[in-house]
C-alpha cells in the first residue's frame, strides 16, 4: 500500500514537471546557443545546457511530454481493445474465442519493438508509429487477463445465481466481473504504460526511434553519452527521469513488496 | 507401556485459551477419537501433538511419546518424530500425493530415505500388494480412483514404521461405501499393536472405531468415555444433540400432500463437456414434495438440476415449466454458500438490488429474516464475514423473495456442521410443506436422503466412469419409494 | 504419447501459419509505403553516394520490380511459403543466406544469456522461496523488481560505463571471443533472471504450501529431501514455460543489445535494414523471430508434457 502511494507521488511529480514547466518557462527545447554549451545547472538554467547549448530543463520536459502522451494514448487504445475482445471471447466462447486466442497467440510471437520498427516504415511519423506498433502488440496481455478473469467468474455459482435471480448482463458485469477484473487490470495497465515508455526510449537509444532534434529520453542519452566525463549531470538527467517513471509505475503495479 | 501420553495439553493464542487442558493416554492396540464441530478445537489438539500449530498459537503441558518426554514448544523435535514414530493420515489423500510421481516411488522413497531399507523398491511393492495395489504401482495419482488413492496414502504414511497413527478427518469427502473401508483400515492399525488417534466430526466413523471418545466444544472437553456408552447413552445434553443431529436419528417429517406438477421433463438428455450423462429421461416435480436426487459422483446430478432450471440447455428433449410460472420462480441453493454471493457486495445491498429489480415491497424482508432466525445486522456484512449456516439461510431468504415453486438444492448442507445441517434441512422440508415448494435435493448421505425426502430419483453409471457414461432416471411413480 | 501431443502441436502449427500471414501483410504495407526515391537511396547504399548513376539505378529497379504492385506481393507470399525470402534491396544477396549467416551470432548471444539467467534466477528463487519473509527473500524480491523495471539498454549503458570504460575490464564492442560475450550476455541475462527468480520463488512458495509437500514431510523425509525428490520437478514446469514465453522478450532485447554492443546478429541487421528501408530483410528477420518463438514454445509444450503427465489429459 505504501509502495503504491510512493509510486503515485513519484509519478505525479514526473507528470507535473513535464506538463507544468512550459507554463512557467518559455525556453525552447531546440534553440541552440553554443555559448552555453555544457553549462552546468545554475539559477538561470535549472538543469543546465547540453552540448549544443540547448536548455536541458526544456528538453527534459518536452521529452517526458512526448513519452507520457504517447503512453497515455496507447494505454487507452490497448485497454479498450483488450477488455472489449477479452469480454467478447469469454462471453461468446466457441470459435470466436478460439480465433481471437489464436490471433493473440500469433501477435505475441512478434517482438513489440519489431512491430514498431515496421510501423515506422509504413506510417508517416514516428509518434504515430509508436502508438500503432505498441497498441497492436500490448493489447494481448490485457486481452488474456480479461478473458481468463471473466471466464472463471462466469462459471462461478455467484454469477449463475445472479442470472437465475433475473439480473441482466450489465448488472452482472458491474457487481461480479468488474470488481475482480479492476485490481488485475490496474497492475497490468501500469506495466503496459511502463512498456511504452521503455520502448520509446530503447528505440531512441539505438537511433531508430524519434529523430533528432526532437527531444526524446533515449535519444538524449546517446547524444550526451560522449560528454559523460565533462557533464555527467547532463547524461544522468534522462537516465534518472526514465528510471523514476518506470519505478513509479512498477510500484503502482504492486510488483515491489519492499 | 503407554505409547502416547498427553498431560494437561493446552493451546493458547494471544486472545486466550483455544483448547482447555486435556489429558489422554493411548496404549498399544488402543484407539482414541476426538469428535466435535468446526471450531471445537479438535484439530488444534492434533496439530499441537504434531508440531504444526500456526505461529500465533502455542501449546503447553506435557507430552510423552514411547516413554520419552518431548518438548511441545520445539517444532523441530516434533517434526523429527514424523514417519518413524508418528505417522499422519492426511485429509483428502488424493491431494496429499505428489501428482507427478508414480505410486510405487511415493512409498519406496520412504523405505529408502527414512528407514534405509536395502531394497526399497521391493519393500514398496510388498506394501502395495498388502493393500491390493499391485497393479497400480506404475500409475500416477490422477490415474487412481479415490479409494486407491486413499490406500496408497495409507501405505506411504505407514512405510516409515511408526506405531502411533494420527488420522485427521479421514472420511472427509468420501461416500458411505468408501467410509466403511477407511474404518476397516484404521482398525487394522490397532490390531497390529499400533496406537490410533482420530479426529473427526463423523459419529458413524467414531462408533465403528470403538475405543475411547472425547467430545469437544468451543475448545473444552464436554464428555469422555467408551465409544458405545458416549454415543448410545450420552450423559451431556450437547453430546445428545450431536447424536440426535445424525440424519438417521432425525424425527419424521410431516406427510407429503403433493400438488400440481410445477415442472415436467420429457425425453430429457443431458450432456456435459461433450459426454452424454443422461439419456431420454421423463420426470415430473410436484408442488410441496421433496425429491431426492442420488447417485455416485460424476453421474450428472448437478447437470440435471441445472438443465431443469434452464441454466444449461438440454442435449435433447424438453423441460416444461408449469403454466404461468415465471423463470425466476425456479431457484437453486449451492453447496458452498459463500461462492453463491458477490464477494465484494454487502448482503443487504445484494438483497436490495434484487428487490428493486423485481419491485418487491421492502416490508417483505424483515418477516422472512425472522422466520429463518437471521439477525438484520448480518445484512451490513459481506459474505465472507458470515458463517456458512447463516449464509445458506440467507440464500434461502434470497430465493423466497421470488416466491419460488421449485428449489434445486445441490448438496446444500455438505459443508455445514451436523447441528446446522439439521436446522437447514428442517427449514427446507417445512417450506416445502407450508409454501408448497417443490424441493429437488442432491445428497451423498443416504441417511439424510431417507429422512428428508418423499421419493428418490436414482442415477447410476451404466459403464465405467472414464468411458461414455449414461444414466437412467426413474420418473414419477414408477420406482418412487416413500 | 504421440496422440496426446497432436493437439498442442496442431495449435502451434496454426500459430506458425498465422505468424507468417501477419508478417506477409505487414511487409506488403511496408512495400506500398516505400517512397519514390527509394531506388536511388538503395543504389546509393550499395554503390556509395558519389557513384549513383542512371545505369546502376536502373539495375536496382530491374531487380526489385515495382514494389507497390499487388501481384508482386502475392508472388512474395507464395515465395515466403516456399522458403524463398527474396533478395536484400541493399546487398542483393538472398535474404535467407544473410539471415543464416547472422543467426549463428545471435544464437550464441541468446544461448549465453539463457545459460547465465538460469545460473542466476532459479537458484536464487529457490533459496528465497524456501525461506519466505527472510532477509534473503526480501532482498531477492526487491532486486528482481528493480531489474525488471530497468530497461535493457540502460543496463547495457551502465555496464559499458562502469565495467568497460570505468574499470577498463571488458571490451564494450567486438565479437568472436568469450570476453566480448560477457557484457551483452549479462545485459540480456539480468532482465530474464529477474523474471525466472520471481516465478521460481512463487512456485516454491506454492509447493511448500501444498498438501503433498506437507505429506512428504509427514512421511518422515527432511526438507532438503523433499526439495530434491518432489520440489524441483514441480518448479521446473512453470520455469520452463516462462523461459519459452520470455523468448519474445529475449528477441526484443537482442535488437537493442546487439545494436549497443555492435554484435553482428539478426537484431543488428534488422536495425540496419530498417534504416535503409530494406523490406525483404525486415520481413525475413520478423519471420525468423516469430517462427523461432513458435518453435521454442512447441518444444516447451513437449517438455512440459514429459515432466507433468497430467498435462496430457488437459
Residue B459 confidence (pLDDT) above 70: yes
| Alpha carbons B149 and B153: distance in angstroms, whole number | 6
Distance, first Cα to last Cα, chain B: 54
Residue A89 is given by DSSP the state: H
Cis peptide before C190 (omega within 30 of 0): no
Angle (deg, nearest 10), helices C178-208 and C95-130: 40
Please name the residues in contact with B294: beta carbons below 8 A apart, sequence gap of 6 or more: B301, B442, B443, B444, B446, B449, B456, B457, B458, B459
Residue C76's pLDDT band (cuts 50, 70, 90): low
When mean pLDDT is compared across A109-118, B49-58, C276-285, C303-312, the lowest value belongs to C303-312
Phi-psi region of B280 (alpha: psi -120 to 50; beta: other; left: phi over 0): left
Residues of C in contact with B97 (CB under 8 A): 212, 215
Residue B415's pLDDT band (cuts 50, 70, 90): confident
The x, y and z cell numbers of residue C29, run together, are 504495407
- Is C255–A112 a contact, with Cβ atoms under 8 angstroms apart? no
Residue A3's pLDDT band (cuts 50, 70, 90): confident
Segment B198-219 shows an average pLDDT of: 90
Residue A197 confidence (pLDDT) above 90: yes
Alpha-carbon dihedral angle through residues C226, C232, C234, C235, given to the nearest 10 degrees: 130
Whether B159 has its CB under 8 Å from any CB of chain C: the answer is yes
SS3 category, C65: coil
- Is A114–C289 a contact, with Cβ atoms under 8 angstroms apart? yes
| Alpha carbons C203 and B2: distance in angstroms, whole number | 42
Residue B471: the pLDDT is 35
Residue B475: the pLDDT is 35
Residues of A in contact with C32 (CB under 8 A): 122
**Are C29 and A133 within 8 A, CB to CB?**
no
Q: Exposed/middle/buried for C133, CB within 10 Å: 0-12, 13-18, 19+? A: exposed
- Is A102–C15 a contact, with Cβ atoms under 8 angstroms apart? yes
- Is B97–C215 a contact, with Cβ atoms under 8 angstroms apart? yes
Q: Which of A103, A206, A246 is closest, CB to CB, to C149?
A: A246
Angstroms from C11 CA to nearest CA on chain B: 20
Residue A30 is given by DSSP the state: S
Angstroms from A161 CA to nearest CA on chain B: 6
Q: Which of C212, C217, C221 is closest, CB to CB, to B99?
A: C212
Segment C228-252 shows an average pLDDT of: 90
Angstroms from B437 CA to nearest CA on chain C: 41
Interface test with chain A among B313, B329, B336, B342, by most A beta carbons within 10 Å: B342
Angstroms from B129 CA to nearest CA on chain C: 19
Whether C154 has its CB under 8 Å from any CB of chain A: the answer is yes
Q: What are phi and psi of C268, to 5 degrees?
A: -60, -45
Residue A258 confidence (pLDDT) above 50: no
What are the Cα distances from residue B227, in Å, to A171, A202, B24, B231, B302?
Answer: 54, 75, 15, 6, 37
Full-model pTM: 0.81
Phi-psi region of B471 (alpha: psi -120 to 50; beta: other; left: phi over 0): beta
Closest CA to B441 of B416, B394, B470, B406: B406
Angstroms from A155 CA to nearest CA on chain B: 11
Residue C92 confidence (pLDDT) above 80: no
Residue C201: the pLDDT is 94
Question: Considering only residues 50 to 69 of chain A, which have any Cβ-Cβ distance to chain C shorter than 8 Å?
Answer: none
The x, y and z cell numbers of residue B221, run together, are 472437553
Residue B58 confidence (pLDDT) above 80: yes
- Interface TM-score (ipTM) > 0.85: no
Angle (deg, nearest 10), helices C54-64 and C38-47: 110
Q: Which of A164, A167, A179 is closest, CB to CB, to B311?
A: A164
Share of chain A above pLDDT 90, in %: 40
Q: In the complex, which subunits touch A with 3 or more CB pairs below 8 angstroms?
A: B, C
Angstroms from B469 CA to nearest CA on chain A: 23
Angle (deg, nearest 10), helices A112-122 and A178-205: 70
Residue A18: the pLDDT is 87
Whether C173 has its CB under 8 Å from any CB of chain A: the answer is no
Residue A33: the pLDDT is 78
- Mean pLDDT of all residues in chain B? 85
Closest residue in chain A to residue B398, using alpha carbons only: A165
Q: Which of A123, A202, A243 is closest, CB to CB, to C153?
A: A202
Whether C71 has its CB under 8 Å from any CB of chain B: the answer is no
Work out whether the CA dihedral C303, C304, C307, C308 comes out positive or negative. Answer: negative
Closest CA to A37 of A61, A22, A56, A21: A56
Closest residue in chain A to residue C267, using alpha carbons only: A114
Residues of A in contact with C285 (CB under 8 A): 114
Segment A109-115 shows an average pLDDT of: 89
- Is B398–A179 a contact, with Cβ atoms under 8 angstroms apart? no
Residue B346: the pLDDT is 92
Closest residue in chain C to residue A226, using alpha carbons only: C161
Share of chain B above pLDDT 90, in %: 25
**Are B86 and B48 within 8 A, CB to CB?**
no
* HEC sequence for B222-245: EEEEEHHHHHHCCCCHHHHHHHHC
Q: Which of C138, C277, C294 is closest, CB to CB, to A109?
A: C294
Segment B199-223 shows an average pLDDT of: 90
- Is B83–C220 a contact, with Cβ atoms under 8 angstroms apart? yes
Residues of B in contact with C225 (CB under 8 A): 109, 113
Residue A78: the pLDDT is 95
Q: In the complex, which subunits touch B with 3 or more CB pairs below 8 angstroms?
A: A, C
pLDDT digits (tens, 9 = 90+) for C29-64: 887 777 656 666 666 656 666 666 667 666 665 555
Residue B480 confidence (pLDDT) above 80: no
Segment B74-82 shows an average pLDDT of: 85
Closest residue in chain A to residue B332, using alpha carbons only: A161
Residues of B in contact with A176 (CB under 8 A): 342
Which of C124 and B136 is assigned the larger pLDDT? C124
Closest CA to A181 of A202, A204, A153, A206: A153
Residues of B in contact with C309 (CB under 8 A): 100, 140, 142
- Is A205–C153 a contact, with Cβ atoms under 8 angstroms apart? yes
pLDDT digits (tens, 9 = 90+) for C133-166: 899 999 998 888 888 888 888 888 888 888 877 7
**Are B164 and B194 within 8 A, CB to CB?**
yes
Closest residue in chain A to residue C20, using alpha carbons only: A106
Residue C17 confidence (pLDDT) above 50: yes
Residue C228: the pLDDT is 92
Closest residue in chain A to residue C278, using alpha carbons only: A121
Residue B474's pLDDT band (cuts 50, 70, 90): very low
Angle (deg, nearest 10), helices A126-154 and A112-122: 140
Q: Which of B95, B100, B110 is closest, CB to CB, to C219?
A: B110
Q: Which residues pair with B318 in a beta bridge?
A: B266
- Is B339–A158 a contact, with Cβ atoms under 8 angstroms apart? yes
Residues of B in contact with C310 (CB under 8 A): 99-100, 140, 142
The x, y and z cell numbers of residue B195, run together, are 496406537
What are the Cα distances from residue B16, in Å, to B2, B58, C273?
Answer: 31, 11, 73
Whether C313 has its CB under 8 Å from any CB of chain B: the answer is yes
Q: Which of A106, A122, A228 is closest, CB to CB, to C15?
A: A106
Residues of B in contact with A162 (CB under 8 A): 342
- Is A163–B332 a contact, with Cβ atoms under 8 angstroms apart? no
- Is C309–B140 a contact, with Cβ atoms under 8 angstroms apart? yes
Angstroms from C235 CA to nearest CA on chain B: 11
Closest CA to B242 of B196, B207, B290: B207
Whether B231 has its CB under 8 Å from any CB of chain C: the answer is no
Residues of B in contact with A156 (CB under 8 A): 339
Q: What are phi and psi of C168, to 5 degrees?
A: 65, 30
Residue C72: the pLDDT is 62
Residue C74: the pLDDT is 72
Amino acid at each position: 500500500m505504501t509502495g503504491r502511494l510512493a509510486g503515485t507521488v513519484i509519478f505525479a511529480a514526473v507528470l507535473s514537471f513535464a506538463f507544468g514547466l512550459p507554463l512557467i518557462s518559455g525556453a525552447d527545447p531546440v534553440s541552440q546557443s553554443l555559448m552555453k554549451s555544457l553549462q552546468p545547472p545554475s539559477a538561470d538554467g535549472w538543469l543546465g545546457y547540453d552540448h549544443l547549448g540547448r536548455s536541458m530543463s526544456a528538453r527534459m520536459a518536452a521529452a517526458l511530454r512526448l513519452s507520457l502522451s504517447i503512453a497515455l494514448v496507447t494505454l487507452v487504445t490497448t485497454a479498450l481493445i483488450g477488455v472489449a475482445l477479452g469480454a467478447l471471447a469469454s462471453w461468446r466462447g466457441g470459435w470466436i474465442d478460439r480465433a481471437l486466442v489464436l490471433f493473440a497467440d500469433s501477435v505475441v510471437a512478434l517482438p513489440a519493438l519489431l512491430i514498431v520498427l515496421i510501423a515506422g516504415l509504413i506510417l508517416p511519423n514516428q509518434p504515430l508509429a509508436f502508438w500503432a506498433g505498441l497498441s497492436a502488440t500490448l493489447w494481448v496481455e490485457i486481452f488474456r487477463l480479461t478473458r481468463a478473469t471473466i471466464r472463471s467468474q462466469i462459471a462461478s455459482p455467484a454469477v449463475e445465481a445472479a442470472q437465475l435471480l433475473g439480473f441482466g448482463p450489465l448488472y452482472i458485469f458491474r457487481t461480479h466481473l468488474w470488481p475482480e477484473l479492476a485490481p488485475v487490470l490496474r497492475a497490468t495497465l501500469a506495466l503496459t504504460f511502463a512498456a511504452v515508455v521503455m520502448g520509446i526510449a530503447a528505440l531512441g537509444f539505438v537511433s531508430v526511434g524519434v529523430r533528432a532534434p526532437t527531444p526524446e529520453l533515449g535519444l538524449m542519452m546517446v547524444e550526451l553519452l560522449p560528454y559523460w566525463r565533462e557533464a555527467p549531470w547532463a547524461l544522468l538527467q534522462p537516465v534518472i527521469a526514465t528510471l523514476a517513471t518506470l519505478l513509479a509505475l512498477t510500484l503502482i503495479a504492486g510488483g515491489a513488496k519492499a | 507401556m503407554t505409547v502416547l501420553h498427553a498431560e494437561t495439553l493446552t493451546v493458547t493464542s494471544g486472545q486466550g485459551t483455544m483448547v482447555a487442558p486435556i489429558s489422554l493416554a493411548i496404549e498399544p492396540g488402543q484407539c482414541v477419537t476426538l469428535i466435535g464441530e468446526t471450531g471445537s478445537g479438535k484439530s488444534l489438539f492434533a496439530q499441537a501433538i504434531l508440531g504444526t500449530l500456526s505461529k500465533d498459537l502455542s501449546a503447553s503441558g506435557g507430552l510423552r511419546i514411547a516413554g520419552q518426554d518431548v518438548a511441545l514448544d520445539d517444532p523441530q523435535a516434533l517434526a523429527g518424530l514424523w514417519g518413524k514414530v508418528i505417522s499422519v493420515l492426511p485429509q483428502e489423500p488424493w491431494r496429499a500425493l505428489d501428482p507427478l510421481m508414480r505410486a510405487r516411488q511415493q512409498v519406496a522413497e520412504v523405505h529408502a530415505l527414512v528407514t534405509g531399507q536395502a531394497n526399497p523398491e521391493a519393500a514398496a511393492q510388498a506394501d502395495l500388494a498388502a493393500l491390493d495395489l499391485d497393479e497400480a504401482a506404475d500409475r500416477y495419482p490422477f490415474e487412481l480412483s479415490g479409494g486407491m488413492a486413499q490406500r496408497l496414502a495409507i501405505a506411504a504414511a505407514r512405510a516409515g514404521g511408526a506405531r502411533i497413527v494420527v488420522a485427521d478427518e479421514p472420511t472427509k469427502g468420501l461416500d458411505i461405501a468408501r467410509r466403511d473401508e477407511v474404518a476397516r483400515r484404521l482398525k487394522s492399525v490397532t490390531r497390529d499393536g499400533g496406537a490410533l488417534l482420530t479426529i473427526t466430526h463423523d459419529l458413524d466413523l467414531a462408533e465403528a472405531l470403538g475405543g475411547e471418545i472425547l467430545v469437544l466444544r468451543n475448545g473444552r472437553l464436554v464428555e469422555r468415555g467408551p465409544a458405545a456408552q458416549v454415543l448410545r447413552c450420552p450423559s451431556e445434553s450437547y453430546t445428545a444433540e450431536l447424536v440426535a443431529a445424525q440424519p438417521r436419528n432425525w424425527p419424521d417429517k410431516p406427510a407429503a400432500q403433493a400438488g400440481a406438477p410445477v415442472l415436467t421433463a420429457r425425453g430429457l438428455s443431458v450432456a456435459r463437456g461433450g459426454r452424454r450423462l443422461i439419456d431420454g429421461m421423463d420426470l415430473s416435480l410436484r408442488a410441496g414434495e421433496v425429491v431426492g436426487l442420488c447417485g455416485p459422483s460424476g453421474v450428472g446430478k448437478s447437470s440435471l438440476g441445472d438443465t431443469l432450471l434452464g441454466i444449461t440447455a438440454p442435449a435433447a428433449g424438453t423441460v416444461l415449466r408449469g403454466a404461468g410460472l415465471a423463470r425466476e420462480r425456479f431457484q437453486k441453493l449451492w453447496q458452498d454458500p459463500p461462492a453463491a454471493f458477490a464477494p465484494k457486495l454487502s448482503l443487504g445491498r445484494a438483497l436490495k438490488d434484487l428487490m428493486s429489480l423485481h419491485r418487491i415491497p421492502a416490508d417483505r424482508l424483515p418477516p422472512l429474516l425472522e422466520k429463518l432466525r437471521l439477525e438484520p445486522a448480518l445484512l451490513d456484512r459481506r459474505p465472507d464475514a458470515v458463517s456458512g449456516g447463516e449464509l445458506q439461510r440467507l440464500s434461502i431468504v434470497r430465493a423466497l423473495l421470488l416466491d419460488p415453486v421449485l428449489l434445486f438444492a445441490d448438496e446444500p448442507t455438505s459443508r455445514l456442521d451436523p447441528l446446522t445441517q439439521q436446522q437447514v434441512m428442517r427449514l427446507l422440508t417445512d417450506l416445502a410443506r407450508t409454501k408448497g415448494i417443490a424441493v429437488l435435493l442432491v445428497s451423498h448421505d443416504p441417511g439424510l436422503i431417507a429422512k428428508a425426502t418423499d421419493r428418490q430419483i436414482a442415477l447410476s453409471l451404466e459403464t465405467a466412469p472414464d468411458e461414455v457414461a449414461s444414466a437412467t432416471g426413474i420418473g414419477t411413480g414408477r420406482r418412487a419409494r416413500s | 504419447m504421440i496422440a496426446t501431443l497432436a493437439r498442442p502441436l496442431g495449435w502451434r502449427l496454426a500459430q506458425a501459419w498465422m505468424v507468417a500471414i501477419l508478417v506477409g501483410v505487414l511487409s506488403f504495407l511496408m512495400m506500398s509505403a516505400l517512397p519514390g526515391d527509394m531506388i536511388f537511396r538503395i543504389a546509393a547504399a550499395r554503390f556509395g553516394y558519389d557513384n549513383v548513376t542512371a545505369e546502376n539505378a536502373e539495375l536496382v529497379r530491374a531487380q526489385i520490380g515495382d514494389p507497390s504492385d499487388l501481384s508482386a506481393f502475392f508472388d512474395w507470399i507464395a515465395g515466403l511459403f516456399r522458403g524463398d525470402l527474396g533478395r536484400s534491396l541493399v546487398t542483393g544477396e538472398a535474404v535467407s543466406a544473410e539471415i543464416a549467416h547472422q543467426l549463428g551470432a545471435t544464437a550464441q548471444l541468446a544461448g549465453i544469456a539463457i545459460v547465465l539467467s538460469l545460473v542466476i534466477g532459479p537458484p536464487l528463487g529457490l533459496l528465497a522461496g524456501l525461506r519466505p519473509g527472510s532477509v534473503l527473500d526480501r532482498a531477492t524480491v526487491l532486486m528482481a523488481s528493480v531489474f525488471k523495471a530497468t530497461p535493457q539498454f540502460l543496463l547495457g549503458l551502465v555496464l559499458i560505463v562502469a565495467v568497460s570504460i570505468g574499470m577498463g575490464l571488458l571490451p564494450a564492442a567486438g565479437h568472436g571471443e568469450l570476453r566480448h560475450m560477457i557484457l551483452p550476455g549479462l545485459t540480456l541475462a539480468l532482465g530474464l533472471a529477474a523474471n525466472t527468480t520471481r516465478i521460481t520463488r512463487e512456485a516454491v512458495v506454492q509447493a511448500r504450501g501444498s498438501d503433498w509437500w506437507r505429506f512428504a514431510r509427514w512421511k518422515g523425509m527432511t526438507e532438503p529431501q523433499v526439495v530434491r525428490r518432489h520440489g524441483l520437478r514441480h518448479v521446473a514446469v512453470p520455469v520452463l514455460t516462462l523461459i519459452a514465453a520470455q523468448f519474445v522478450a529475449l528477441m526484443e532485447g537482442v535488437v537493442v543489445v546487439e545494436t549497443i554492443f555492435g554484435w553482428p546478429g539478426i537484431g543488428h541487421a534488422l536495425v540496419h535494414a530498417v534504416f535503409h528501408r530494406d523490406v525483404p530483410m525486415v520481413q525475413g528477420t520478423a519471420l525468423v523471430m516469430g517462427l523461432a518463438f513458435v518453435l521454442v514454445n512447441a518444444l516447451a509444450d513437449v517438455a512440459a508434457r514429459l515432466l507433468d503427465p497430467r498435462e496430457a489429459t488437459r
